[in-house]
Structure 1
Amino acid sequence: MERPDPPEHQPGLSSVTMRKRTNPQEDCSDFKSRKLSPDVKITEAPDAPKSEPGPSCVSLKSDQSKFFIFNFKGTKPAPAEKDGQESLQHDQQHQTDLDSVFKMLEHNIITFVKNELKKMQNDLNPDYSECQRDEEEVFDSEEEKQRRSSRDAFRKLAVNLLRIMKQEELADCLQSKNPDPLCENTIKCNLKKKFQCVFEGIAKPGTPITLNEIYTELCITEGGIGEVNTEHEVRQIEMFSWKPNRPETAIRCENIFKVSTERDKPIRTVLTKGVAGIGKTFLTQKFTLDWAEDKTNQDVQFIFPFPFRELNLLKDKKFSLVGFIHHFFTEIKEAGIFNFKKFKVVFIFDGLDECRLPLNFHITEILTDVTESTSVDVLLTNLISGKLLPSAHIWITTRPAATNQIPAKYIDMVTEVRGFTDPKKEEYFRKRLRDKEEANTIISHIKTSRSLHIMCHIPIFCWITATVLESLLKTKQAGGKLPKTLTEMYIHFLVVQTKLKNIRYDGRAETDPLWSPASRKMIEALGKLAFEQLQKGNLIFCESDLTECGINVREASEYSGVFTQIFKEEGGVYQNKVYCFVHLSIQEFLAALYVHLTFTNSGINRLEMEQMASVQTGESLIQNFYHSAVDKALKSPNGHLDLFLRFFLGLSIPASWDLLQGLHTQTGISSQINQETVKYIKEKMNGTLSPEKSINLFHCLNELNDDSIVKEIQHHLSLGHLSKVILSPAQWSALVFILLSSKTGVDVFDLRKYSASEDALLQLLPVVKACKKAQLSGCNLTERSCEALSSILSSQSSRLRELDMSNNNLQDSGVKLLCVGLGSPQCALETLRLVDSLFQEIWIFHNNCHYFIDFKMLFLLWCKL
């Protein structure tokens, strides 16, 4: 039987249609632990007056209802009728309880919505203080977690509804004040996975090392306007050893955007420069990882790191800023975040020197809308210049030669990564090497070689050194003799990597011959690539560059420490692959090795653009080979072939040939030819070379194991009569080399100790640039000296703080030249003495202010710039 439909005139009735229960014994009164079946349909009747509540009615349309028999006359029901009545009463009670629960649920939902909407309105009210918000709710941890989850879901719904209502500004404001914690946590989790393990020297192959475990603090100095230094980066390191210009401005990476007391405006854009391998990328990874691990900068909502080498692959793509972020960070898109101006966001662009996008800040189109699509280069220029999302913080890293790609007016602060200080070098080796005895041996060894010790300011060279020396100490292949020159170190590095490749990929035994036909072919191909791309000035190559040199991409990647694929396959985003050597110095070494092997194996000189027929044979041909290399390096602009020449000459000595035995066909270069090369270099040093080029030739002599000139100068210095000796230009260069090599440095330089003459000063200018105080009083200086010193004063890399030029015949013309340097924004000189120097009057230009000073009555000028 079916119960008749309820009378329509009764108010307040509701009708529930219930599907058949699969288990008749199931307890339907347990509302707290059970959910309603999807088949249950609840429909509300029209609102009724509260004064006339009516009963509810249940219609049971299932097979079970046929067992229900009702007695309408009051007679004693049959057993089946009794069971049916009890079941009906049970279902009626169930419906009553359900109504009660849902009425309470409705009340709670309405109360919750009203409260949350009120809080949202307060959040959007600028007059509502933060302290009032903080006092609104204090929950137990579990209750707070549940409430927060509900609130986050409701606020996300509210933001979406505001957007549907076209209230974009309110939606953005509400979303920025209450960012999705799940989205932020997801980004942090993903960045943590990405950066918590690193591969020293290589991007993919190898054994991962925890960044926090291996990271050694780098020295970062603040200051400068990003001037371009086009010298070879190794020259920059070696010329002035490691001495920060302004140690008082050293900063920590986590404070990169913190405003110092000396600044009166916030820092938006930071440019960090540093030579290749100095640790710029590790620095940005450490900054990001510390944020992701909730250690630092927790006032930042989002950090978005982008390597330029990956952005190059999007050269032909178009994005809006929102689409650009969503493309790389899908978590942001899934969270529904489309506007970032209310968030504190940091964009990190790593490796500006590797950028192949046409960043034109002068004629680029202006873009202010974050939803407008454009090319990636226009997007970046507008973002960096502050036209697009001016509230964002921008951090850019680059090698020094590329600093001028961004106009100085768009940079709020320039910092420089200086690498490891001497104590940090030791700390690195002790972290890198578990064996304390090995670490102590390596630290002691690098202190015995100036070249190695200076190069270890570069973290990646520390990795190369540790890789080589650890291997040699364990296998005792060096016979008790560890490498002391750069060439020896890099030969050992190549040997170690080749041996690893043979064992790991070729399945060969450690005792098998090192150089197989396949490994020789690969080294020659890598060398050809290195040389040809070095000639073009390229550090990044595409796959076609490799195939042109006969390189199989898979085989090249097997030399994991030498050659690495810097393309990352993440989410199928990238379609092209780009490649590079681990470090510029490795490319230069392989290029020198290639030129050397080509000549010794076939007699072809790759350094000569046109191979011309020559009557030279035998030793004269070999001598010309080395002489041409010296000449080519001396003609290269800014010393770009300095390190190449050093490796090239270092490969000619017998020790190098022994280490490379099996890679070449000849037995070695005669000692006579090496002596002729030494003689030729000394002749060049006695010519009219710049001090920098002369010093590099000293490094070349060191690679050739010749230190005769240095010993001569050391002998004169020990006798104390150097000022009485007439020195050749080569000997002057040797003196510079010795003074700059001093472990204690040259804080105070007194020209009179060496020679009180203008010629001596011009020879020793690199020392003046590296010292803090220069005593040049009474040294017969003229206008010529003032011009040279002005260049030093205007250099950002100068350490000079105090200059005494008293008792010299400078004249007005000389002081005018000196004042050009004083007026440079780079000038850091604090004290200038001009007692009894012959001049009368001069204009001084400093910081765009003009000062006329009458010197007729003055003997001392004290400048605090």
Structure 2
Amino acid sequence: MLDVLPFDSVVIPRCSSVRSRMDKVEVLTRMLKSDNTSTILGGQSPGSVINSRKYVPVTAGARGDDQRSLDDAIRAALCGETRAAVVVGSEGSGKTTALRKLVADWAKGECLQNFSYVFNFQFREFGSSADELSLETLIHQGHHQTPPDFTRLVTEKPDGVLFVFDGLDEYKHSLDPSVHSLTSDLTRPASGSSLLASLLHGSLLKGAAFLVATRPTDNVRFLRGARVEVLGFRKPQREAYFNNFFTDSVAANRAFLHMERTLGFYEFCASPRFCWTVCSVYKWLLDSDAKLPETLSQLFADTLVHLIQTLSLNKACSRGLVLALGRVASHCLRGQHPSCPKHAVDAFGLQQFPTSVDSFLREHGEEELSFRSHLMREFVLAVAFFLDASAYEDAEKTLNDHKAGAKMLDLFMSGLSEPAQYRSLEDLLGTFSSGQIKAFKSWFRGRSEKALKDYNRSEHYRCFHLLHQAQNESLVKEILTPPAHPSIFHENLSLQDCAALNFVITCLGEREKLSVSRTTISRETMEILAPSVSLSHTVILSHCCIHKEALPLLASAVSTGVARDLDLSHSSIGDEKLQILCAGLRESKLHSLNLSVCGLTAACCGDLVSVLTSETSQLRNLQMMFNEIGDRGFTKLCEAMHSPNCRLQELQVRDCDLTAASMEAFAGGLGSGETQLRKVDFEGNVIGDSGVQALCKALQQPLCKLRSLRLFDSGLTGACCSDLKEVVMSEHCTLSELELSLNELGQEGALLLCQGLKRPSCPIETLGLTRCGLTPAVFEELASVLKNGTCRIKSLHLAINKVGDQGVKPLWDAVAHPSCLLEELNVEMTKLTDACVEDLCAALRANNTLRFLELRNNSLTDAAVPAIVQVMKEKHNMEELNLKYNNFSEDVFEMLEECHNIRY
């Protein structure tokens, strides 16, 4: 029940000193004793791990690059201010081994020599006795080598005592101090639970240090001290473990690479115990020249076959053992019991196999048994489901009955429904029930069809996980028909999600889009997703945390696949990572690259130029919005416009800290005759009137072919309009879109612009003048332009110019004119009232081209609705009239609902 590990640092007689050294030898012998495990499910024994001197430290502490060995993390915590540590980790993550190694290292004099005594407890045994006893008695009952004056020594120097407690999750009592009568007297008898609570809360032997190991449990919240999260084996530790396990380096490498490819995305692969199981099974398969498993179900099928073969049972007994184990598993999972009482085990049929059960079950305390592996517990239940149709009802009821305790049962059932994965078990256990297999597949198809109709991420991905486990390509194509799931978009994906997603996509083949967001893209993630990236025309990885090591793999997948569009927006790539990405994209066939909000500066622009000017460059659209590249970076980027290899047609540099200083360089590129640039968006850059002046000189050059210029919110005034007038009047002008919204052009500037728009061959088709300080005089002049018979304007945005009904009236006359070509008109927030409705309706009746009319945020009331509804019923060419945020009451909602093309 209790290991006492004493070492007295106080000056005592020579015989006691010798005795202490002997005690340390005895401690070391006990810690290093190789209590070899009889089953591959139990993991390598702590003693043999430490004895082998090939101990690979599991990692702990912060995730990411800041990881320490578990040993170091524990020692640091015990030397800290609280001198207490709580080690939390999942099943088989290495907690017990780490604790025993720590004690062994202390006994060897290698660490923690500030402690005179180390006491090692197992929680499941602590307090099992109903008798009351003191801590001193408890220690003496367990060990008889403590000095006669032990109580005095530890009382005088409690800070020289370390208590090590393992397995808090198996403790059946609460550690809440409020439910215990705490004691501070070492000699006073108390219950085991009270003694433990008194120790851990500092009432008993105050000043002593504590180390507690546990799986996640509610009792942790009652403990003080540093939390040490056990991450188990990350990929580097797994690789080292495999290299140590296999004597043949070729076999080690083959086994490791196979495990990472097929299983490395599961969280429990970080468990040292699971790695021991995998290595043991792989070694057996490699020695037998057998095929390594491709799924988790196949791994556990091989494990079960190996375990049963070592028991030398006939087929009937083997089947009976698995069915009995299935009943035990069902009992535990139905009631969420970690263990099963020994007296109840016979009722499940295990009395026929007194020695065989040790391979699967272990003692859990004095009166209970539990499965050595939680995963094997669910796997044997899945096997039992397919072996015995009479004991288990349909798949849905079986899964519902066990869903409280089972996490992998449906995955194992999916895997075992395929012949390739259950055939080896049939050879050993007898025939699987064809009815059960058929029933499961029927349930799975129905569940998947229902899940894919809803946009529920967890349901979609559970379906993908089941398909991945089944490894049946035809089943994937049957369930995920194109109408069922034309594109896949999800976020916050785990490695396991990515593996399932990749399997589904590779089965379906080339697709239009792969969209993943808010996901950490590590090297491991990209290794898994690379085939899917190569098969997708559009790859969206927005709002992702992309690791540097993943970028070469991403670039390679894009370059060798069919990808034409890559969206990395909001992914905070930064200059250093972009440099790596660009190096891999120079040979790509990308048409579009979105780097908006990626934390880029001027330093990245040279790398982008190298991509844009490569001999094989196909890049036509570059989005750089919301990056602080500034004038220096943009000037560098403009160098690409002089290269005959640059095929860039659209450039978005919205809010990139640009000023007039870089417009000369851009203008030079426009007039070079080499650039194919057709559209540029400068929104949110304060380039000012002088910047526009430089642009306008280039726009009048015969070699300039720019068609769209967006200067939304660019710090312009009416002073730039004379230059813009010259541009639109120029015979060389090719602009079809001019966006000038959110600039203070005013009446004078806007009227100048209108003069240019009257040129008979003016190419402008889209004009944006939202919130430009326009007046009724400007609206009247624009109406004149629209009616002149040569105007090509189809889209006109005049919102937030508050000219009122009379100001907008000339526009309604223009809309009614047969020469007007408008298809889209925006007069949102122009102070319209019901007084405009007659002119509005007359204009709509006379017009045959208008498709979109924006009237939001005006002052129309219920009185305007009947006339508007009536005319909209007549106008089949009108696709949308937006009346949102006017002064309508609920009384007219039913009337507005009569028109499908009215938004209100």
Q: Identify if the C-alpha distance between structure 1 residues 453 and 713 changes in structure 2 by more than 3 Å, giving closer, same or farther.
A: same
Q: 1:253 aligns with which of 71, 75, 78?
A: 71
Conserved? CA contact 2:521–2:546, under 8 Å = no
What's the Cα RMSD here?
4.8
Please say if 1:697 is aligned against 2:697: no
Please say if 1:605 is aligned against 2:392: yes
- Supply the AA of the counterpart residue of 2:183: L
Conserved? CA contact 2:34–2:46, under 8 Å = no
What is the CA distance between 1:529 and its match in structure 2? 0.7
> 3-state SS of the aligned residue for 1:305?
strand
Aligned twin of 2:201: 385
> 3-state SS of the aligned residue for 1:311?
coil
Q: 2:372 aligns with which of 574, 582, 590?
A: 582
Please say if 1:542 is aligned against 2:341: yes
- Listed as ranges, the matches of 1:416-565 within 5 Å are 416-450=229-263, 455-476=268-289, 478=290, 481-502=291-312, 515-552=314-351, 555-565=353-363
Q: 2:144 aligns with which of 322, 330, 337?
A: 330
- Supply the AA of the counterpart residue of 1:605: Y
Conserved? CA contact 2:136–2:186, under 8 Å = yes
> 3-state SS of the aligned residue for 1:282?
helix
- Listed as ranges, the matches of 1:563-574 within 5 Å are 563-565=361-363
- Cα separation, 1, equivalents of 2:187 and 2:35: 35
Q: 1:190 aligns with which of 27, 50, 59?
A: 27
> 3-state SS of the aligned residue for 2:178?
coil
- Cα separation, 2, equivalents of 1:702 and 1:367: 56
- Cα separation, 2, equivalents of 1:286 and 1:357: 28
> 3-state SS of the aligned residue for 2:421?
helix
What is the CA distance between 1:299 and its match in structure 2? 2.2
- Cα separation, 2, equivalents of 1:770 and 1:354: 39
Conserved? CA contact 1:429–1:439, under 8 Å = yes
Q: Identify if the C-alpha distance between structure 1 residues 367 and 593 changes in structure 2 by more than 3 Å, giving closer, same or farther.
A: same
- Supply the AA of the counterpart residue of 2:410: L
Conserved? CA contact 1:657–1:667, under 8 Å = no
Conserved? CA contact 2:383–2:416, under 8 Å = yes
TM-score, normalised on structure 2?
Answer: 0.51
Conserved? CA contact 1:271–1:396, under 8 Å = yes
What is the CA distance between 1:677 and its match in structure 2? 4.9
- Supply the AA of the counterpart residue of 2:206: P
Aligned twin of 2:423: 658
- Supply the AA of the counterpart residue of 1:648: M
Deviations, residues 331-361 of structure 1 (Å, cap 9, x unaligned): 1266755552415121111111111134332
- Cα separation, 1, equivalents of 2:546 and 2:200: 34
Q: 1:290 aligns with which of 90, 105, 111?
A: 105
What is the CA distance between 1:630 and its match in structure 2? 5.8
- Cα separation, 1, equivalents of 2:339 and 2:269: 24
What is the CA distance between 1:704 and its match in structure 2? 1.1
- Listed as ranges, the matches of 1:83-122 within 5 Å are none
Q: Identify if the C-alpha distance between structure 1 residues 660 and 182 changes in structure 2 by more than 3 Å, giving closer, same or farther.
A: same
- Cα separation, 1, equivalents of 2:598 and 2:385: 47
- Supply the AA of the counterpart residue of 2:466: C
Aligned twin of 2:14: 152
> 3-state SS of the aligned residue for 1:397?
strand
What is the CA distance between 1:430 and its match in structure 2? 2.1
TM-score, normalised on structure 1?
Answer: 0.53
Aligned twin of 1:219: 58
- Cα separation, 1, equivalents of 2:464 and 2:144: 55
Tell me the percent identity.
21
Q: Identify if the C-alpha distance between structure 1 residues 218 and 475 changes in structure 2 by more than 3 Å, giving closer, same or farther.
A: same
Deviations, residues 783-802 of structure 1 (Å, cap 9, x unaligned): xxxxxxxxxxxxxxxxxxx9
- Cα separation, 2, equivalents of 1:769 and 1:548: 54
Aligned twin of 1:276: 91
Conserved? CA contact 1:778–1:807, under 8 Å = no
Conserved? CA contact 1:657–1:668, under 8 Å = no
Structure 1: gaps (5+ residues) = 1-129, 134-147, 157-179, 223-243, 503-513, 568-575, 607-624, 717-723, 748-752, 755-759, 780-801, 809-832, 838-865
What is the CA distance between 1:382 and its match in structure 2? 1.3
- Listed as ranges, the matches of 1:305-454 within 5 Å are 305-311=120-126, 313-314=128-129, 316-332=130-146, 336-337=150-151, 339-341=153-155, 342-343=157-158, 344-400=160-216, 402=217, 404-407=218-221, 410-450=223-263
Please say if 1:303 is aligned against 2:145: no
> 3-state SS of the aligned residue for 2:52?
helix
Q: Identify if the C-alpha distance between structure 1 residues 458 and 206 changes in structure 2 by more than 3 Å, giving closer, same or farther.
A: closer
Conserved? CA contact 2:175–2:219, under 8 Å = yes
What is the CA distance between 1:441 and its match in structure 2? 2.4
> 3-state SS of the aligned residue for 1:641?
coil
> 3-state SS of the aligned residue for 1:456?
helix
- Supply the AA of the counterpart residue of 2:371: F
Conserved? CA contact 1:205–1:560, under 8 Å = no
- Supply the AA of the counterpart residue of 1:431: N
- Cα separation, 2, equivalents of 1:271 and 1:469: 34
Structure 2: gaps (5+ residues) = 1-8, 503-515, 527-531, 534-538, 552-566, 573-596, 600-623, 627-654, 658-682, 685-904
- Cα separation, 2, equivalents of 1:536 and 1:462: 29
Conserved? CA contact 1:203–1:566, under 8 Å = no
Deviations, residues 213-261 of structure 1 (Å, cap 9, x unaligned): 1653233333xxxxxxxxxxxxxxxxxxxxx52542535415524369x
- Supply the AA of the counterpart residue of 2:360: V
What is the CA distance between 1:562 and its match in structure 2? 2.2
- Listed as ranges, the matches of 1:650-729 within 5 Å are 650-661=415-426, 662-666=428-432, 668=434, 676-686=442-452, 688=454, 691-692=457-458, 694-706=460-472, 727=488
Deviations, residues 286-326 of structure 1 (Å, cap 9, x unaligned): 11111122222222212211121222633x23221212222
Conserved? CA contact 1:307–1:350, under 8 Å = yes
- Supply the AA of the counterpart residue of 2:351: N
Conserved? CA contact 2:43–2:277, under 8 Å = no
- Supply the AA of the counterpart residue of 1:380: L
Number of residue pairs matched by the alignment: 526
Deviations, residues 26-82 of structure 1 (Å, cap 9, x unaligned): xxxxxxxxxxxxxxxxxxxxxxxxxxxxxxxxxxxxxxxxxxxxxxxxxxxxxxxxx
Deviations, residues 669-694 of structure 1 (Å, cap 9, x unaligned): 69976764553343243255764454
Q: 1:744 aligns with which of 511, 516, 523?
A: 523
Conserved? CA contact 1:204–1:565, under 8 Å = no
> 3-state SS of the aligned residue for 2:90?
coil
Deviations, residues 371-415 of structure 1 (Å, cap 9, x unaligned): 111111111111111121122111111112x0x31435x422101
